[in-house]
């Protein structure tokens, strides 16, 4: 999707809302998140003005956002906040971490100074921050995570969860090393890794460390971590930084159990904890059955622009209930192959087994477009019910290669998850068609990726591993996958993961795919969506150019990206998450 742009006047309006102490905190947070995504100097100035606010929670989030924006014009205000002993420790800590995230060498001196601070959460933060700056400049690498965040350290290279857990909970290990294992366990993101992270919440030696563990558990959003997070939230003697992150993580997990805890502690005596819970409650969107019906009717209204119908679909996807599945299922009679492809994709990502009958029908219906039938097969694999294996094995013999290959991967995924007792959820909030590879060697992974003699399941595993590694070498290796002539399905998935990464490095390869009129429309569609997601002037120009393409799927893909961007602009910050 194309990036939303704001006029200076709109940024001023949003900045004023951020600084308006009469507004509910949740509304001010939404304004902040818009400015964070804009990232320009004017947004930095508005965020900087809000550090005079009495809310420690808000100021902590201001500093965090300035760090994630990585705009060096924020350095002076962050220096002031770090040095100001009248600011709350959690705010000063976040200012130090933000300086480390920006990564400018000029910050090393002040960070080394406050690495001697009397407050351990300030001292430890500043030590990690200057170590990160030294690391990125010595290695020429970044510490960006698959969760669209700038981590305070790189992740560890080991894949051994037992080894990583041992380092994680060992107080004699340097904090930099323990953070590395924390982020690696988050990226592994299986049951063993999540439970290992939970143990980090019980390490008594560092409140800063426990707070970061709670933060990454909030990124993962697994119900497995609720018991450990609950212990942190419920403990009145725990540092408020830790309790705040536990509250936010429980709010993000959003099960009835975790939400009940958030509601309970919205009355806590500690202001930071109370405000964290209140913001989580205020920002959560819930829909009545009547509202779901209204949204479902919009999805099925062929008179509405496709972008408006996509927005309705995305709401239903996030609701995930049976009524939402029914409304999505009704839309498969639509003439738009792009919309029906997205319907099937969403049903798979929802992992609601009530969608299986309609997906079976779509897969079996040879009147449906191949890209729609393919997505129905992949969705059955994503839901992962053993009852789907029979039909998937049947259509793994389909004469159309994109159908046959999809169904083979799908039944192999189902067999894999049931034999291993694991999932294939990715750090990008998606259910992958296969697990990711265990190797960390990009050259080895690239060799498998582009080898047509390798099983497609193995090549997909390397694809997802390269996406998760997400450095320059890995992104360029993935780009080579777009030039593999043996499988349109494979090329389409490569384009999809490049859209998840959103790196300008992949624009040349994606442009080749989009520009080729002989390429499969599934591949060209994913190239168009990926270029829209990258959202540089170069990639956006391509999306606008191909919104006039002769191929309906390509044309609609580009039109939807453009229309949704314009819609978000008109809605300003009300649509920020």
Q: 93 a known binding residue?
A: yes
SS3 label, residue 397: coil
Q: Is 423 labeled as ligand-binding?
A: no
Q: Is 342 annotated as a binding residue?
A: yes
Cα–Cα distance measured from residue 1 to residue 342, given in angstroms and rounded to the nearest whole number: 14
Residue 493 annotated as part of some ligand binding site = yes
244 marked ligand binding residue? yes
Chain-centroid distance, C-alpha 384: 22
- Which parts of 142-239 fold into alpha helices (H)? 161-168, 175-188, 191-200, 207-220, 226-234
Annotated binding-site residue? 156:
no
The response to whether 202 counts as a known ligand-binding position is no
DSSP, collapsed to helix, strand or coil, labels residue 327 as: helix
142 is in an annotated binding site: no
Residue 183: both structure tokens together: 């982020």
Contact (CB, 8 A) for 58 and 28: yes
Question: Which is nearest to 47 in space by CA: 23, 76, 22, 89?
Answer: 76
Q: How far apart are CA 332 and CA 320, in angstroms?
A: 18
* Residue 526 is assigned to a ligand binding site: yes
Q: 169: helix, coil or strand?
A: coil
**Is 375 part of any known ligand binding site?**
yes
DSSP lists the bridge partners of residue 239 as none
Helices (H), 70-206: 75-83, 89-102, 108-114, 120-139, 161-168, 175-188, 191-200
Give the DSSP letter of residue 433. Answer: S
- Rounded Cα distance between 356 and 351, Å, is 9
Cα 407 from Cα 398, distance rounded (Å): 9
Q: Is 60 annotated as a binding residue?
A: yes
The secondary structure element, H or E, covering residue 264 is helix 256-264
Q: Do residues 551 and 514 touch, judged by C-beta distance below 8 A? A: no
Q: Has 437 been labeled as part of a binding site?
A: no
As a whole number of angstroms, the distance between CA 354 and CA 383 comes to 10
94 is in an annotated binding site: yes
Instruction: Output the CA torsion sign for 338, 343, 344, 346.
Output: positive
The residues near 21 (Cβ < 8 Å, ≥ 6 apart) are: 53, 54
341 labelled binding-site residue = yes
Task: Please provide residue 431's backbone torsions phi and psi, each rounded to the nearest 5 degrees.
Answer: -95, 115
Which residue numbers belong to the known binding site for Fe cation? 60-61, 93-94, 211-212, 244-245, 341-342, 374-375, 492-493, 525-526
Question: Would you list which residues are annotated within the binding site?
Answer: 60-61, 93-94, 211-212, 244-245, 341-342, 374-375, 492-493, 525-526
């Amino acid at each position: 999707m194309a990036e939303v742009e704001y006029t200076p006047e709109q940024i001023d309006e949003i900045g004023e809302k951020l600084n308006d102490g009469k507004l509910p905190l949740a509304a001010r947070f939404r304004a902040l998140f818009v400015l964070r995504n804009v990232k320009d100097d004017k947004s930095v100035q508005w965020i900087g003005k809000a550090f005079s606010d009495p809310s420690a929670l808000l100021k902590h989030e201001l500093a965090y956002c300035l760090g994630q924006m990585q705009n060096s014009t924020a350095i002076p205000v962050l220096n002031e906040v770090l040095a100001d002993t009248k600011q709350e420790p959690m705010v000063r800590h976040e200012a130090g971490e933000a300086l480390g995230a920006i990564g400018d060498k000029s910050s090393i001196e002040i960070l080394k100074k406050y690495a001697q601070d009397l407050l351990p959460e300030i001292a430890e933060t500043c030590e990690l921050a200057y170590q990160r700056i030294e690391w990125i400049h010595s290695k020429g690498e970044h510490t960006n995570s698959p969760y669209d965040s700038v981590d305070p350290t790189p992740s560890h290279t080991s894949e051994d969860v037992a080894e990583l857990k041992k380092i994680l909970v060992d107080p004699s290990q340097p904090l930099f090393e323990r953070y590395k294992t924390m982020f690696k366990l988050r990226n592994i993101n299986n049951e063993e890794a999540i439970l290992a992270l939970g143990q980090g919440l019980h390490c008594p030696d560092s409140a800063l460390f426990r707070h970061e563990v709670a933060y990454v558990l909030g990124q993962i959003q697994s119900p497995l971590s609720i018991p450990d997070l609950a212990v942190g939230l419920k403990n009145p003697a725990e540092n408020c930084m830790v309790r705040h992150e536990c509250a936010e993580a429980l709010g993000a997990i959003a099960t009835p159990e975790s939400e009940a805890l958030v509601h309970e502690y919205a009355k806590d005596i500690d202001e930071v904890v109370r405000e964290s819970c209140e913001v989580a409650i205020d920002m959560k969107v819930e829909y009545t059955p009547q509202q779901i019906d209204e949204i479902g009717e919009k999805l099925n209204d062929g008179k509405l622009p496709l972008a408006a119908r996509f927005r309705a679909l995305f709401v239903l996807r996030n609701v995930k209930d049976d009524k939402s599945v029914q409304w999505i299922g009704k839309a498969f009679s639509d003439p738009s192959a792009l919309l029906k492809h997205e319907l099937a994709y969403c049903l798979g990502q929802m992992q609601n087994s009530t969608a299986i009958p309609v997906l079976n029908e779509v897969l079996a219906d040879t009147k449906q477009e191949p890209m729609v039938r393919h997505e129905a097969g992949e969705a059955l694999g994503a839901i992962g019910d053993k009852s789907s294996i029979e039909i998937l094995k049947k259509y793994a013999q389909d004469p159309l290669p994109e159908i046959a290959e999809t169904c083979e991967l799908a039944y192999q995924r189902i067999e894999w998850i049931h034999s291993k007792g694991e999932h294939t959820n990715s750090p990008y909030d998606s259910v992958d068609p296969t697990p990711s590879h265990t190797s960390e060697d990009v050259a080895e992974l690239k060799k498998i990726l582009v080898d047509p003699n390798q099983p497609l399941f193995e090549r997909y595993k390397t694809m997802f591993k390269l996406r998760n590694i997400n450095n320059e070498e890995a992104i360029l290796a993935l780009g080579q996958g777009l030039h593999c002539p043996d499988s349109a399905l494979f090329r389409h998935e490569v384009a999809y993961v490049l859209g998840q990464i959103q790196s300008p490095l992949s624009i040349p390869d994606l442009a080749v795919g989009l520009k080729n009129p002989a390429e499969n429309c599934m591949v060209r569609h994913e190239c168009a969506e990926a270029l829209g997601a990258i959202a540089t002037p170069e990639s956006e120009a391509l999306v606008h150019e191909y919104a006039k393409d002769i191929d309906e799927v390509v044309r609609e893909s580009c039109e939807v990206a453009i229309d949704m961007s314009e819609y978000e602009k008109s809605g300003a910050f009300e649509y920020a998450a």
